[in-house]
A and B are shown apart, each in its own frame.
Chain A
Amino acid sequence: MGDEKKFRALLVSAALLIACIFSYNIFGEYLRADIFEYIKRRAYYENVLKNKGLDLREGMHWRKKQ
């Protein structure tokens, strides 16, 4: 790879990083709470909970009934 190409790659990645930082600054609070947490919970369910021999039994509700 020529210098010029490497230089361009470096700048593009820095620019991308900055773009990510902006989006994180602005939306991070929501992202972290929603998407990341969801992925974590889902992964825990799929990788850990599912394989522990626990069944899912529908829970009861009371407000609906009244």
Chain B
Amino acid sequence: MGDKVRCELCPTECELDNYQIGGCRTRINKSGVLYSLVYGKPCSVAIDPIEKKPFYHFLPATAAFSIATAGCVLDCKFCQNYQISQARPEEVDHKDLPPADVVRQALYYGCRSITYTYTEPTVFYEYMFDTAKLARDFKLKNTMHTCGYINSRPLRELAPFMDAADVDLKAFTEDFYSRICGGRLRPVLDTLVELKKAGVWIEITNLVIPTLNDDIKKISEMTAWIVNNLGRDVPLHFSRFFPYYKLKNLPPTPPGTLSDARKAALDSGLRYVYIGNLAGGGQNTSCHKCGRLLVERSGFRVNQNNIINGRCGSCGTGIPGVWG
């Protein structure tokens, strides 16, 4: 009945029987050959401000051409995009948009970058890979918003074409990753280190969920790990949780928890810690040296930007990030 195929893309490493579809719903073994079902078939295409990804230290106030296909390597109970991430590609409407068309449209709409986002870009690896390669030739940057659940070999091959990655570090316990997301923490940490090594600009997002991962001690452990392994310059976004998908029973994160988390992260030595999904403080960038306000944001809008050629407009200190 045909050969088994092991998919080597993500740490799940599904072993697929003939005509079996992987856990990500996007890869199938047909007669001993592994195929992607979503190449050139995005279900979501949009132009977003880059701040929405969120990237705060990457080409601020530019437009990012954003694409996603159906499918995901995890099944997080709090997923905000579960209608597409947990859907089969054949269940959602999709467009025909081969890599060349993605690049063409991104250029036409004046985007500076292409972002692979919304669901988990790992599941459309080949599509992302070809698009990113082509985009390079047209001076477009490539960014992705990923959960980091990808094997190191595919990641190493992709990294040279990726300019920035926003990695969801969803919690700092294996227990959380296993029970709530259906994955493991270790590979995500490996991905972060690998990206850093490859010189990809990293920002980290952590969704703080009441009772599940809001333990300040664990958060401090996480930020200490970031400082030790990735450095103090990695921006960290604490994001506010809203009841969704399978976690409707929990309340939204209290603003106090988020500011406590931010304080703990700053105490660990991180220089750029933000609060997302919450109107109010914690969205602006200030120089880590002189403390002057550099980028003022409200929502996804940038009101002022005092970074000049990657340096603080007032003291001249180099600000980590990709600015031009």
Contacts and interface: CB of A to CB of B under 8 A. Distances in A.
Which residue among A37, A57, A63 has the maximum number of chain B CB atoms within 10 Å of its CB? Answer: A57
Interface stretch (A12-20, A24-32, A47-55): A47-55
A61 interface: yes
A4 interface: no
Nearest to B33: A58
Given A57-B36, A59-B36, A60-B154, A41 B8 contact: no
Given A45-B28, A52-B90, A56-B35, A63 B8 contact: yes
B94 A53 contact: yes
Nearest to A42: B19
B20 A41 contact: yes
Contacts of B90: 48-49, 52, 54
Nearest to B16: A41
B41 interface: yes
Given A38-B17, A38-B19, A41-B18, A58 B35 contact: yes
B36 A66 contact: no
User: How many of chain A's residues touch chain B, expressed as a range?
Assistant: 20 to 34
Interface residues of B, number: 33
A34 B1 contact: yes
Contacts of B96: 53
A38 B41 contact: no
Given A41-B17, A49-B37, A59 B1 contact: no
A49 B70 CA distance: 14
A66 B18 CA distance: 25
Contacts of B154: 60, 62
Contact of A59 (B17, B21, B35, B157): B35
Contact of B19 (A34, A41, A52, A63): A41
B41 A55 contact: yes
B89 A54 contact: yes
Nearest to A37: B17
B27 interface: yes
B235 interface: no
A66 B8 CA distance: 13
Contacts of B41: 53-55
B17 A57 contact: no
Interface string B146-161: 0000010110010000
B34 interface: yes
Contacts of B33: 58
B8 A61 contact: yes
Contacts of B30: 45, 56
B56 interface: no
B161 to A, nearest CB: 14
Contacts of A49: 28, 37, 90
Nearest to A57: B39
A28 B126 CA distance: 39
A38 to B, nearest CB: 5
A54 B36 CA distance: 9
Contacts of B151: 62
14 contacts: A35-B1, A52-B89, A53-B94, A54-B37, A55-B40, A56-B37, A57-B40, A60-B9, A60-B157, A61-B8, A61-B34, A62-B8, A63-B153, A66-B153
Given A45-B19, A58-B126, A60-B125, 8 more contacts: A35-B1, A38-B18, A48-B90, A53-B41, A55-B39, A56-B28, A57-B36, A58-B35
Interface of B: 1, 7-9, 17-21, 27-28, 30, 33-41, 89-90, 94, 96, 125-127, 129, 151, 153-154, 157
